[in-house]
Amino acid sequence: MRSLIVIISNPAARRSSLKKIRLASSFLIEKGFDAEIIFTEESGHATHLAKEAVSRNPHLIIAAGGDGTINEVINGIAFTDTPLAILPQGTTNVLAKELGIPENVRGALEIAISRTPRMVSLGKIEFTRHSSLFTRYFCLMAGIGFDGKAVYDMHKPIKKISGETAYILSGIKNLISYYPNELFFTIDGREYSGYAAIIGKSSRYGGNFRATPDARLSEPSLYTCIFRGKKRTDLLRYVFGIIRGTHLKEKDIIYLKSSNIEILGSAHIQIDGDYLGETPAKISVEKDALRLVY
């Protein structure tokens, strides 16, 4: 009996195309697998599809799309025995860069079917939405404050056409009107304050930049950057520091290894490049939460 591989594909992903997905299916069939393609229809649908796919005990689930689609699939597959592999087809493909997965179909799928799954840790964020507790897992980062607001304000039609340009335009718009609220952080029992934060489960941020350079998916820990300046000039200094890889030398950036974080105050949140909600929130790390192929 041939083993089943399920491909969950986001047709709205900027680099996605039916041709690539058909190539992926043909490749897997040539390698002796049964391949099933399932397309997402709306935001959040990939999580539901992943849960359904897990119930059928497939050999492997492949998330075909950008970091947002991968995040949704992770939230449907975490804490199960079903391995996850990645076929990058999104805007920036940050997770693929983190794991060294090529963006071409054959290269990505060779890794998917030939390598042994590894256990990785995930970040877990909890906050209140519509008067009820909401939990979500992430593998790259949680952005609190400026970048959360930039993702919140991003014009989705522009993202579909221009990709990273949509983030840049939203960032410029928010920089002009930048006036953040003070946030209060309790990190492993110690208290800090600032105006924005990046909480990394992986090292990369926004492409090949490394906002939390010591973070690793394989390690059960988080790395937190707290940005203490509230002026537009401070924000520009932080941005250029991340681009150059020198931001951790800034005296008004706090950089900590941590396990549990509580955030009080009002700010927007993004995880893995997609908008989530608003603080207050609690963030922790879940050890060995996902079987990932890379």
Beta strands in the chain (DSSP E): 4-9, 34-39, 60-65, 84-88, 118-129, 132-138, 141-144, 183-187, 190-194, 196-200, 222-227, 253-258, 260-264, 268-271, 274-278, 281-292
Last-in-domain residue among 88, 115, 142: 115
The helix (H) or strand (E) run that includes residue 68 is: helix 67-77
* pTM reported for the whole predicted model: 0.91
CA distance 53 to 192: 42
Residue 209 per-residue DSSP state: B
Do residues 131 and 240 share a domain? Answer: yes
Do residues 288 and 149 share a domain? Answer: yes
Do residues 92 and 186 share a domain? Answer: no
Q: CATH number of the domain at 218, please.
A: 2.60.200.40
* Residue range of the domain that includes 109: 4-115
Last-in-domain residue among 98, 115, 132: 115
Do residues 107 and 130 share a domain? Answer: no
Do residues 151 and 13 share a domain? Answer: no
Structure tokens at 247: 């931001």
Do residues 72 and 158 share a domain? Answer: no
Do residues 271 and 142 share a domain? Answer: yes
Do residues 105 and 128 share a domain? Answer: no
Domain count, the chain: 2
Residue 146 per-residue DSSP state: H
Do residues 129 and 206 share a domain? Answer: yes
pLDDT in tens, 168-210: 556 666 666 778 999 999 999 999 999 999 999 999 998 899 9
Q: What integer best gives the mean pLDDT of the chain?
A: 92
Residue 173, number of CB atoms within 10 A of its CB: 15
pLDDT in tens, 1-14: 689 999 999 987 75
pLDDT over 60 (residue 160): no
Do residues 8 and 140 share a domain? Answer: no
- Confidence at 18, pLDDT banded by 50, 70, 90: confident
- Confidence at 242, pLDDT banded by 50, 70, 90: very high
Do residues 140 and 90 share a domain? Answer: no
Q: CATH number of the domain at 58, please.
A: 3.40.50.10330
Distance between the two ends of the chain, CA-based, in angstroms?
26
pLDDT over 80 (residue 220): yes
Do residues 134 and 184 share a domain? Answer: yes
Distance of CA 85 to the CA centre of its chain: 15
pLDDT over 80 (residue 155): no
Last-in-domain residue among 67, 95, 115: 115
